[in-house]
Chain A
Amino acid sequence: MRYLKRHSMLAATGVSALSLSMALTAWGGTTSNANRPSSSPNLAAASPSGSIKVVMAQYSSLTKPYWTSLVKAFEQKYPKIHVNLQVIDWNTLLQQVPTMIQTHSYPDILNFNNYSTYAKAGLLFPAKQVFSPQVESDFIPSFVKSDTIGGTQYGIPWIASVRALGYNKAAFAKAGIKAPPSTWSQFVADAQKLTKAGYEGYCLPLGSEEAQAEWSLWMWSNGGAWVNGAGKWTINSAKNVQTLTFLNKLANQYKVTEPNPGATNRTSGCWADFASGKAAMTEIMPLGTFQTSSMKGSNVKWASAPWPRANLSIPKFTLGVQDVLMAFKRPGDQAMDKAFLDFVYQKDNYLKFVKDEGFLPATKSASAALSNDPVDSTGIKLLPSAKFYPLTEAAWTSVQAAVQSQLGTAVNPGASPKQVLDTLQQDAVSGR
């Protein structure tokens, strides 16, 4: 999942005390290891010492307290390791990570939504070097698979979300719809009824926030794909053109979407409309986190259904979105990284995070512990049918950026979906 953020703005940040000396010091002092005892990995394994920089994504208001207390407990156990912790909201993180990388001020551990570009550039430790075999055996295999490039695992599965079609029960009743649509044609008919009943039939978030998620769902629901079996990009396949044309028609021919879906974001647009009862259907996360943040204070009664498919011969699926941790190769820090990650993935520590945030766990032990949880168990049951983004492709980072910044234009009136997909395909193939 990219992120889920409270509607309100960030919590307060105090005045930073600015001394002149600070003002004259370049940021990125963490790139220097000079003040750290450099010990060989073997010795360090016995008793690692020094400091590591850990950058974690903020999923909710509980994230920061979680990490602060976890780091405190960790430092008590390993008094010689200092953890320089930063918890950053997703919006900022997405902007900052490219800068961090370009300026070579890598953190030791980073929580992000893709890793392949950094892995291919040789910036990451292979995952097995930074956690113990017990941790390794606990990960759910399907996650590990999409974190592995050429037989080496680089991404460390962190948490996941799944997506589904959310609908407003009252709106369905008002429009006389008995059951959620399972095919595209039912979907269009229902959306038209809902529009006639005074709702936004379907809120289509193709704005830059998370266009790649919305697109993946529709693409797969027509049997299309990002990449084919031979590992070649198929962004502009005939099926995908058909799908995008369908989305354009939703907006401009059937007119069942909100105005300007190409400029509507998920959080500020569709989820806000869904929570206010304006949108009758939209893509949602059937998870605790969605109810506690986006639907907070809303009196809309909603339910979720599997994604409607072009025809019923296409198997049921869901979009699984995985966030990962990764460890950047900073000489001398490997043993500390390992101590830290082993600590984080201890069953109780990890389970608390997953429960706090209302996301799906990436470990077998946590999944088992949550299998009777009223909200998360639905999501956990969906996981086996989950399809993931092509995270292992090195070009994925730039494809995702291009999809976010261009795909929305395909649903403008008179736009050519084929042209938009052709351009995306060209960029993906040329690896730009």
Chain B
Amino acid sequence: MTAGQKVGAAVAAPAVAAPRAHVGRSPRAVLRRLTPLWWLGPSLVLIATVIVYPAVKMVITAFQKISSIGIDQGFTGLNNFRNLFTEPALPHVLWNTLVWVVVVVGVTVLVSLPLAQFLNKKFVGRRLVRWSLIVPWAASLVMTATLWRYIYEGSYGMLNRLLLDLGIIHSPVYWYESPSTAFWCLVFVGIVVSVPFTTYVLLAGLQAVPADLYEAAAVDGCTTWQSYWRVTFPLLRPALMVALVLNTIYVFNSFPIIWVITGKIPGNATDTTITFMYKVAFTYRLDPGEAAALGILNVAFLLVLVGFYVRRTRISAPGEVGVPVRPKRRLTLVAGARDVAGAAFAALASVLAPLGRAVAAPLRRPARVFARGWRPARPYTLPAIGALVAAFFLVPYVVMLLSSLKSNIQLFHSPALYFPPTPQWGNFASVWSQIPLASYLVNSLVIAGCSTLLVLLIALPAAYFTARHEFRGRRAFLYLILVTQMFAPVALVVGIYQEVNGVNGMNSYWAIILIDAGFNLAFATWIMNGYLASIPVDVEEAARVDGAGAFKTMTRVVLPLARPAIVTAVIFTFIQVWNEFVVAETIFNDPTSNRETLTVGINAFVGLYQTQYNYLFVASLIGIVPVVVLFAAIERYLVGGLTAGSVK
């Protein structure tokens, strides 16, 4: 992890390991063996309640008949699976899911590779370009999807205006409504929001490539192209693998984009197995049993991916983390996975490299000419390209701002107006009476704030203890945490709904706070664990010598040192919960008592009536701007936490 490299090699073996030999049956010894439970217990309880139990509940539900009004009619064998497999929409939904995952992940990686390469070059304004990528990454997907829905609108959509002006189309296209274009609209948005994370992961990988290797390659007379394929690409492989696997998981679990843009349109033209499951459970069939059956299949698919990812991640012993190591060795692969992946990459490289050579050969002379002209042009060209990249990611949000200032008449003007002729700044005042924005904000703040606090209280002791002590079950615990990080709530939503319903937690604050906390423990634990492990033990030992107990040592000595990791964990958790949609939509959704979060509230106003995008965009801007600023503040720590140390 980032901080890991800064610390020297002087990390002693864990102090706790030694007494183990003396452990007997004495009460003190028993107590000592139970010590880890004090530190890890809360995490374990929370994971068991909000992740493991819903998973179990979902499995049980898959074999139960539950009527559309929630009455349990007992065991039904494989009927739910039979119903699922005879759904006429299922083949199409499966095909959609495959295309969705393959195309979004594939194109994302193909776009991110050169983008990361570009952002790794030094040029004026690079920082700003990197920040522009943060906007679609940090912004809530519900809000981004609402924005794109407006861009894709037919008679008053912004995309149509642009394409009409450019003469590319001659009459408005109903992008997301018409079944032939709807799915590809979603794919495009999926790619746009996946590129930033992927680029950041690859960028972290690139930064880890030692500069001396390039120098050596240059000495050997490698062309730029050759040094990319011979040096960069092989060394980037681990980062690329991580990006691929994590993206596949994220994209597979993706829900808000599809739900917000096309969720209310009849049919299943754009459904994936995730949105289809949600429809079966909550709108179109009201059949939790059948939805649970599909949920099991979704989870099974995820487990395969997670398994692949987890096998690639090596959990180091406490103390070991602090040792600076070459990235390549840090990313120790389990032999089997390495062989398969290695072979695949070797094959890919051996195909691509000659191909690249073949393409490059006739171009060599013009390339040389180009290179001669390039050197003086470089200081202008790179920032110019950077500006284009930044514009690509930022322009939609500029559209959001401009459209938030339109009156209703300007908003529905056909074709769309680029700029509001008279900006309606009054929208920012009248929005409060148009939608219950104040109550949305209060709810989101309460839920995000409480969840974050809970995560911190639970994750910190666990992160600290696992960073400092070796004990039986340590690895198992860390792997469990890692697996929970891969599990988006949407995969378990049917089980979560059943559980919350069963304990009378619907539309209550405590239930959603617990669930949001449970699903965000992983990131906080990982990032704090990594950072804490990098803090030399000597400091603590000094405190111990001075008579401080373990807990006091943690609060007085370690915490102040670990502030960057804690701040990162706090901000990231807060943003995740602030942006969360599917759990809130499902279990905290009672407008009659003002129980809706910002994301749920915004989505509720999309679609059924003339969508008042202007007000929704005002609300979205209020939701996005602070989050982007906070996100930018922790940007450099994020990749390490999100990839659980697999990169860099």
B35 contacts chain A at the CB level, 8 A cutoff: no
Min CB distance, A97 to chain B, in Å? 10
| 0/1 interface trace, chain A 211-237, chain B, CB 8 Å (1 if under) | 100000000000000000000000000
Min CB distance B638 to A, Å, is 30
A/B pair count, beta carbons within 8 Å: 171
Q: Which residues of A contact B (CB under 8 A)?
A: 5, 7-16, 18, 22-28, 55, 86, 88, 91-92, 95-96, 98-99, 101-105, 117-118, 121, 123, 206-209, 211, 259-260, 262-265, 267-268, 272, 397-398, 401-402, 404-409, 412-413, 419, 423, 432
Show 16 residue pairs from A and B whose CB-CB distance is below 8 angstroms, ordered by the A residue: A10-B434, A18-B446, A23-B450, A27-B590, A92-B592, A92-B604, A102-B70, A103-B70, A207-B265, A209-B608, A267-B610, A401-B284, A405-B267, A405-B279, A406-B267, A412-B179
**Interface-facing stretch out of B103-111, B360-368, B436-444:** B436-444
Stretch from B249-257, B293-301, B498-506 that touches the partner = B498-506
Tell me whether A398 and B286 are in contact in the complex, defined as CB-CB below 8 angstroms, given that A8-B434, A9-B615 are known contacts.
yes
Chain B residues closer than 8 Å to A268, beta-carbon distance: 607-611
Is B265 within 8 A of A208, CB to CB? yes
Say which residue of A86, A104, A398, A409 sits within 8 Å of B70 (CB atoms). A104
A282 to B7, CA, bound (A): 73
For B69, B446, B505, B612, which residue has the most chain A Cβ atoms within 10 angstroms?
Answer: B69
- CA–CA, A12 and B438, complex, Å: 10
- The reply to whether A15 and B285 form a contact with Cβ atoms under 8 Å apart is no
Q: How far is the CA of A207 from the CA of B174 in the complex (A)?
A: 14
**Set B70, B266, B438, B511: member contacting A405, Cβ < 8 A:** B266
- B65-90: CB near A (< 8 Å → 1, else 0) gives 00111110000000000010000100
Task: List, in ascending order, chain A residues with CB within 8 A of B179's CB.
Answer: 262, 409, 412
Query: Which 4 pairs show the lowest CB-CB distances between chains A and B?
Result: A102-B70, A408-B266, A13-B436, A409-B267
Q: How far is the CA of A27 from the CA of B439 in the complex (A)?
A: 16
Residue on B nearest A273 in the bound complex, by CB = B155
The verdict on B555 contacting chain A, using a C-beta distance below 8 Å, is no
Task: Determine whether B177 belongs to the interface, using a CB cutoff of 8 Å to chain A.
Answer: yes
B287 at the interface (CB under 8 A from A): yes
Q: Cβ of A272 and Cβ of B610 under 8 Å apart?
A: yes
User: Are A101 and B177 within 8 A (Cβ)?
Assistant: no
Question: What is the chain A residue whose CB lies nearest that of B441?
Answer: A15
A27–B506 Cα distance when bound, in Å, is: 7
Q: How far is the CB of B519 from chain A (nearest CB, A)?
A: 20
Q: Report whether B154 and A206 are in contact in the complex, using a CB–CB cutoff of 8 Å.
A: no
The yes or no answer to B247 lying at the interface (CB within 8 A) is no
Question: Do residues B286 and A98 form an inter-chain contact, with CB atoms below 8 A?
Answer: yes
Asked if B285 and A398 make an inter-chain contact with CB atoms under 8 angstroms apart, the answer reads yes
B509 within 8 A of A: yes
- Indicate if the CB atoms of A117 and B266 lie closer than 8 Å: no
A130 to B19, CA, bound (A): 75
> Can you name 13 extra interface pairs (CB under 8 A) apart from A260-B174, A397-B68?
A7-B610, A14-B439, A23-B450, A23-B509, A27-B507, A99-B506, A207-B265, A208-B266, A268-B608, A406-B267, A406-B284, A412-B267, A432-B83
B interface residues with partner A (beta carbon < 8 Å): 67-71, 83, 88, 154, 174, 177-180, 264-267, 269, 279, 282-287, 432-436, 438-439, 442, 446, 450, 501, 504-511, 589-595, 604-605, 607-612, 615
Q: In the complex, which residues of chain A have a beta carbon less than 8 angstroms from the beta carbon of B433?
A: 11-12
| Cβ-defined partner of B68 (8 Å) among A86, A211, A398 | A398
In the bound complex, what is the Cα–Cα distance between A264 and B607 (angstroms)? 10
Chain B residues whose CB sits within 8 angstroms of the CB of A55 once the complex forms: 592
Residues of A near B264 (CB, < 8 A) are: 207-208
Q: Which of B67, B285, B432 is in CB contact (< 8 Å) with A12?
A: B432
Closest CB in chain A relative to B310 CB, distance in Å: 36
Asked, given contacts A25-B508, A103-B506, A432-B83, whether A8 binds B612 with beta carbons under 8 Å apart, the answer is: yes
Q: Smallest CB–CB gap between A199 and chain B, Å? A: 14
The reply to whether A7 and B507 contact each other, CB–CB distance below 8 Å, is: no
Question: In the complex, what distance in Å separates the CA atom of A423 from the CA atom of B434?
Answer: 41
**Known contacts A27-B595, A272-B610: A405-B605 contact under CB 8 Å:** no
CA distance A404 to B592 in the complex (A): 24
A9 and B435 contacting across the interface, CB-CB below 8 Å: yes
CB distance from A297 to the nearest CB of B (A): 11
Q: Is the CB of A211 within 8 A of B67?
A: no
Partner of A102, one of B69, B435, B446, B608: B69
The interface residues of chain A lying within 8 Å CB-to-CB of B269 are 409
Closest-by-CB residue of A relative to B505 is A26
- Docked CA distance A8–B177 (Å): 22
Q: Are B506 and A16 in contact (CB under 8 A)?
A: no
Which B-chain residue is minimally distant from A264 (CB atoms)? B177
Assess the B593–A405 pair: CB atoms within 8 A: no
A5, A10, A11: most-surrounded residue (chain B CB, <10 A): A10
Quick check: B508 and A14 within 8 Å, CB to CB?
A: no
Q: Closest approach, in angstroms, between the C-beta of A113 and any C-beta of chain B?
A: 15
Chain B residues, Cβ within 8 Å of A209: 608
CB distance from B463 to the nearest CB of A (A): 27
Can you name the residue of chain B whose Cβ is closest to the Cβ of A276?
B412
Please state if B509 and A401 are interface contacts (CB–CB under 8 Å): no
Which of B442, B511, B589, B609 is within 8 Å of A267, CB to CB? B609
A409 in contact with B266 (CB, 8 Å) = yes
Q: Enumerate chain A residues within 8 angstroms of B508, measured Cβ to Cβ.
A: 24-27
- A259 with B69: in contact, given A268-B608, A398-B286 (CB under 8 Å)? no
CA distance A25 to B508 in the complex (A): 7
Cα distance A60–B419 in the bound complex, in angstroms: 33
CB-contact partner of B506 in A18, A26, A91, under 8 A? A26
**Complex CA distance for A207 and B506, rounded to whole angstroms:** 30
- How many whole Å from B192's CB to the nearest CB in chain A? 23
Contact partners of B88 in chain A: CB under 8 A: 419, 423
B284 touches A405 (CB 8 A): yes
Which of A12, A91, A260, A405 contacts B436, CB < 8 Å?
A12
Instruction: State whether B505 touches A408 (Cβ < 8 A).
Output: no
